[in-house]
Amino acid sequence: MHDEADPSAAISEDPLFATCPDRRGTGAEKWDQWADARTADGREILPVWVADMDLRSPPEVLEALHARVDHGVFGYTADPPGFAPALADHMARVHGCAIDPACVVGTPGVVTGLGLAARLLTEPDDEILTFTPIYPPFLSLPKAAGRRSLRVPLARREQTWEVDFDALEQAVTPKTKMLWLCHPQNPTGMVHSREELGRIADFAARHGIRVVSDEIWADLILDGSQHMPFASLDHPAAKDAITLVAPSKTWNIAGLDCAAAILPDPAMKARWRPSGGGLVPMVNPLGYAAAEAAWRYGDPWRQKLLALLRHHMQLVGETVEEIPGLTWLPPRATYLAWIDCRGTGVENPQAACEAAGLGTSDGQGFAGAGFVRINTACPTTMLVEALRRLHDAFA
């Protein structure tokens, strides 16, 4: 199926990425999902679903964690003095975007940030707009926050996914008060162009809608282009936007529960966490230590990771081409492959994958029935085995 002697695969042999510690028995959600399941021929199901990596975090992050543990005290912890400046330096260096550290506030996760923004800036029964297919919490969280979910499908073009602005205008109502943007987008891997972001900003300003932009995948652009934060636009809607970022996807530290909200006004910080009604905890001190180290020292590791992910997407593309009925649009960002199985004639692609020993994410949970999502952030040997099983599922 794949030639491992190909020079482009050399990154697969880098000791940083060639292996991963066994995660079974560690409480890993990814590996526990099918811990007791077996295929008909007795094989374990290989999990490639939830978006964390089967790769060790960077040495720089591990060193920072060891140093914080050696301190020996883990009391209630507010944003440390280096946290916001580390993010600001990273945004300037990597994305060419200047942010005010005074507008940065730590939060236990991007999903928590979405909920806090909804509670802070909308009223019960207001509508929150999002584009589908989309990461499942975007669909379930509005109801949990006492708001309504308003969904507009993305349009699939020949080379990319795009916002259907006609459908967007038809969907909006006077109750639509917030737009949750996922940029870059999960699960499709699309990256909004400057023109498209500008049209979204025009739409938001025209209808009085606040934009909250989840940019957790911004550091994993695969095609070499530069990420453009929504809030960096010279536009009134961008000036009022909230941006949510985290090092968790890029440096594989999701379990440490540390993200950041970049607010349009420092005065909003005093109301941010209290808007959770006492249900939102503080960020833990190890999360802060890992985040700061990742932003300050993790870029060389990130660049190597990007090379690995580009190689992995090539392998996915080769496999998709080999399987009649499967199609995809290669992602411009993320480590996620969003694969359209509707042309195979298989009624339940997720069940077919599981029967072949492959634990994918079911597209139905993303409002994308007939698709599966594959996480490619793992050692190359593991991905090659996963792609063999994908082939078996639809052969």
Question: Can you say how many angstroms the Cα of residue 96 is from the centroid of all Cα atoms in its chain?
Answer: 21
- 45 and 84 in a single domain? The answer is no
Q: What is the pLDDT of residues 20-38, one digit of tens each?
A: 999 999 999 999 999 999 9
- Spatial CA neighbour of 332 closest among 207, 204, 216, 226: 226
Same domain, 131 and 43: no
Rounded Cα distance between 356 and 351, Å, is 9
Q: What are phi and psi of 129, to 5 degrees?
A: -90, 140
pLDDT of residue 156: 95
Q: Quick check: 7 pLDDT over 60?
A: no
Question: Considering 297, 318, 337, which residue would you say is the last residue of a domain?
Answer: 297
Amino acid 10: pLDDT: 87
Mean of the per-residue pLDDT values for the chain? 96
User: Which range of residues forms the domain containing residue 309?
Assistant: 7-58+299-394
Is 162 a domain residue? yes
User: In the structure, what pLDDT confidence band is assigned to residue 6 with cuts at 50, 70 and 90?
Assistant: low
The predicted model gives 367-393 an average pLDDT of: 98
Strands (E), the chain: 46-47, 104-107, 127-132, 148-153, 155-156, 161-162, 176-182, 210-214, 242-245, 259-262, 327-328, 336-340, 358-359, 361-362, 371-375
Same domain, residue pair 252 and 104: yes
Tell me: pLDDT of 323 over 60: yes
pTM metric for this prediction: 0.96
Please state, for a pLDDT cut of 70, what percent of the chain lies above it.
98
Considering the domain architecture, whether residues 47 and 86 belong to the same structural domain is answered as no
Helix (H, G, I), strand (E, B) or coil at 199: helix
User: Do 87 and 134 belong to one domain?
Assistant: yes
Same domain, 255 and 368: no
Q: Which of 136, 242, 151, 152 is nearest to 187 (CA)?
A: 136
pLDDT, tens digit (0-9, with 9 covering 90-100), for 231-270: 999 999 999 999 999 999 999 999 999 999 999 999 999 9
**Does residue 4 carry a pLDDT above 80?**
no
The CA distance from 176 to 163, in Å, is 17
